[in-house]
Chain A
Amino acid sequence: MISGVLAGGMYGLLALGLSLSWGLLKLVNLSHFALAFLAAYLTYELGTTYHVAPWWSAAMVVPAMFLIGVAQHWLFDRFKVNELASLLITFSFAVILEVAIQLYWTADYRRFETPYSTLSIKAGPFYIPVLELVLCLVAGVLAWGTWLWLRKTYVGKALRAAAEDADIAAAYGVDYKKLAYLLSGMGAAYAGVAGTFIALIATLAPAQIWAWLGVVFAVVIIGRLGNPLGALAAGMLIGASESLAMAVLSPAWAPVVSFSVLIAILLWDPEWL
């Protein structure tokens, strides 16, 4: 159960950036996962070849991802891409990234061994792995911070207004274009953060890019588009219910859980969705 919640932290972190660009920019970014893996491979490369500590590589990788996000948005903005086209373009972009990763790092499994991966703290009868705990804390801080930013600041309110109706918001003086660049960069930067943790926790392979796609989409929807706290909460909910299903039934049944939850919620169609 606890490991489920912790694994859910990763879902939530990945869902965070996706939810922002989908909910507030109306762009479905499938390449989010590819960017996260690109960041993970970069962290791995810096760590194994140049022996750079993960936090230092994060300090380099995350801003780089921000720039990629901005560049991507330039393309979308230039061609007035709609929701459907964004899905197809970012899918193609993800395929290209996957190929690039495979050409450089090959299709072999890569594992970034760090002293942190085996650390855990004892809380009562449970052992809690430190990395997962840090991941959840970081995801929590980012989600909370983003939520506050969207709720309380002028920029955040302007973004939410523009997501409702860009033309009206523009009439009230919201410079949506600039804000959209910022948001797109932030989404990609979150993918960079997620990538750092993927490098530390998971085993890397190019095809793994697609492994989380379904679950994370479920998380984004359940958490409500554009709601950072919702994304994190939904991630933990799904993570917990998956590990519950693994314990009660068998590990193979886990995927049914998240999607059954998703289908049930979509059919129930509650007001907050």
Chain B
Amino acid sequence: MNAARVISRDLPKVVAGLGIVAFALLPTAGLPAFYDSFFYLVFFWVSLSTSWALLSGFAGYFSLGHAAFFGVGMYTTATLTTKFQVPFLATIPAAAAIAALLGIGIGAVVFRLRRLRGELFALLTLAVTFVIATIILNTPIDGGGGVFMSAVPLPHLMSTPTGTIYMLGFAMCVLTLATAWWVAHSRLGMGLFAIHDDEDVAEAKGVPTFRYKLLAFALSAGIAGAVGGIHAMYVGFLTVAGTFELTVPLYVVLMSVLGGSRHWFGPAIGAAAITTLLYAFISGGEAMVGRAIVGLILILAILWLPDGVIPAIQHWLKRRRPRPDRGRAEVVPVVPAAPPIRDRPILEVRAVTKRFGGLQALGGVDLELREGEIFGLVGPNGSGKTTLINVIAGHYPLSSGTVAVDGVEIGGLPAHDIARRGVARTYQIPRPFATLSVLDNVVMAATFGGPLRARLEIRDEARHWIGFTGLAGKEAALPAELNLHERKFLELARALAARPKLLLLDEVLSGLNPAEVDNAIRLVRAIRAQGATIVFVEHLMRAVVELSDRIAVLNEGKLFALGVPREVMRDPRVVSIYLGKAYAA
């Protein structure tokens, strides 16, 4: 490893370390108190907007209710210190806990809604803010007169009160940024990014979406609560109108979006920039003009940098320093003699039915697959093939019947549990995570689908599957840069990375040209050689006959025929319902 690479790797850590030391020493530098309070406000907005981004930026659930959690934190501290004489510092964890509980409570209700559209979530959180504000206003918590904090003793962390507030705000800010960094680089963050892009697919790849969203909500609300607790001491006098102001959620959103709400450090940049601007104008006596100019800057920023500052810089850096293209390695999978199909049943489907309202999509299907088998599922349009895949993968709950994988009953389990028990699927129309690179798409599937293993091992494995499906050299590309053929193979790479026992392929060949189909057929054989059992839905008869050990014909939600491909396809009953004319093999 050469020196330049060491520097570029360790430079951010050094800068962060120096920054922390410099800001920690600032109050002792003897600057006027004015600076303490200015920097406190920067820390305050950085913490608040970063905490917002944990849920709304990372997972894409856009909240306008951040003032609710922040305000609940403020009033928790105010009530505990003034009415119950609890020491100020001890109230901050309480403020965080109560705000986090509120977040979990709201999440537990709204995340169960069937059709929770983005703007509804935003308005629900906004509405909750108004309700909480009114309750606090009309109960003894505030009572309409506001709460004075002046009698509350401030701990002597620093020589001056403003210095103490500064240190608390700074500590909170570092803690918040560290949390955001940790989330962005953890399994949780990976799951949240996937939820942001496509929640159904995330669940199917093994992300426990409900739990992750609640966790993100709790973290986001809890941090906002703690920030509010500290801020209560800064403002000294709390009023409901000042606390639950609409400008709080709006500024938080604007700051995050300006900096880049999907990056852990984006909100910090936006918050620092906007706070500095506003402060400059306020101290210059032009507060109103300052607000207007901030507004104008935001309009321009959103029009020209819709993803925020940090992503724009990253994009620019990537274009300036294009990664060396390692060239596209054509992977010719080595196909051993087909492994013996063992007698062990890997998938048992018993009397499965699925109704959508009055429509019976599946009417009592029985299937048994043996380990190592390639099983073709065919039938006319609307016969229930994709529904069967969706039921096995847990995307739709069963209406009745049982499904067992490797002897374990999985019917009724949530989709992410089924994914972790070794069932992977692909989508007929590829559904990659649009903002994750090809490599991250596969890493994500490997992380949540396969067994627990080290991060580096997962990366290597993901690269292996990317090469295996012929996508080598495209690791850094975004899915939108791939053609249909490549996106279909990305679907396969994601499914394989989960090391499935059972692989459900939904029309992987449709839309491909003959050469690409040949390539795909070789690939499916190679996948089987790795030991997976494959169910594939396909319309392309050539592939079905070439690949399948057995096929099942579905018609109107019922199993119509089952057996060796050539025999089934010659069955006159099958020909009549499905092909219309004899299939000349």
Contacts and interface: CB of A to CB of B under 8 A. Distances in A.
Nearest to B144: A252
Contacts of A221: 120, 123
B253 interface: yes
A209 to B, nearest CB: 10
B144 A92 contact: no
A214 to B, nearest CB: 5
Interface stretch (A3-11, A51-59, A98-106): A98-106
Nearest to A254: B134
A123 interface: no
B127 A214 contact: yes
Contact of B257 (A88, A96, A213, A267): A88
Contact of B302 (A85, A95, A96, A263): A85
A213 B299 CA distance: 20
Contacts of B464: none
B306 A217 contact: no
A260 interface: yes
B197 to A, nearest CB: 15
B115 A269 contact: yes
Interface string A192-233: 000000000000000000100110011001000000000000
Interface in B223-261: 246, 250, 253-254, 257
B126 interface: yes
A266 interface: yes
A92 B133 contact: no
A92 B120 contact: no
A99 B127 contact: no
Given A89-B299, A95-B295, A102-B288, A256 B246 contact: no
B472 to A, nearest CB: 34
Contacts of A81: 302-303
A95 B134 contact: no
B296 interface: yes
Contacts of A253: 134, 138
B119 A263 contact: no
B124 interface: yes
B114 interface: yes
A96 B128 CA distance: 28
B109 interface: yes
A262 interface: yes
A92 B119 contact: no
B131 A263 contact: yes
Interface in B360-404: none
Interface string B308-348: 00000000000000000000000000000000000000000
Contacts of B135: 256
Given A252-B137, A259-B130, A263-B131, A103 B254 contact: no
Contacts of A91: 250, 254, 295, 298
Contact of B119 (A83, A88, A214, A256): A83
A51 B118 CA distance: 47
B294 interface: yes
A218 B129 CA distance: 13
Nearest to A215: B130
Contacts of B303: 75, 79, 81, 85, 89
Interface in B136-180: 137-138, 144
A96 B295 contact: yes
A174 interface: no
A221 B120 CA distance: 8
B302 A266 contact: no
Contacts of B124: 262-263, 266
Contact of A256 (B120, B134, B291, B306): B134
Contacts of A269: 113-115
Contacts of A40: none
B22 interface: no
Nearest to B296: A96
A51 B417 CA distance: 73
A269 B124 CA distance: 12
B292 interface: yes
Nearest to A107: B288
Contacts of A92: 254, 294-296, 298-299, 302
Nearest to B62: A84
Contacts of B295: 91-93, 95-96, 99
Given A100-B292, A252-B138, A256-B135, A88 B120 contact: no
B299 A259 contact: no
B119 A260 contact: no
A148 B289 CA distance: 44
Nearest to A80: B306
B406 to A, nearest CB: 38
Contacts of B119: 28, 83
Contact of A95 (B114, B128, B133, B291): B291
A89 B292 contact: no
A250 interface: yes
- 3 nearest A-B pairs in the assembled complex, by CB-CB distance: A92-B295, A99-B292, A95-B295
14 contacts: A84-B62, A89-B299, A91-B254, A91-B295, A92-B294, A96-B295, A100-B292, A102-B288, A214-B127, A214-B130, A218-B127, A221-B123, A262-B127, A269-B115
Given A83-B119, A252-B144, 11 more contacts: A88-B302, A93-B295, A95-B295, A96-B296, A98-B291, A99-B288, A252-B134, A256-B135, A259-B130, A262-B123, A263-B124
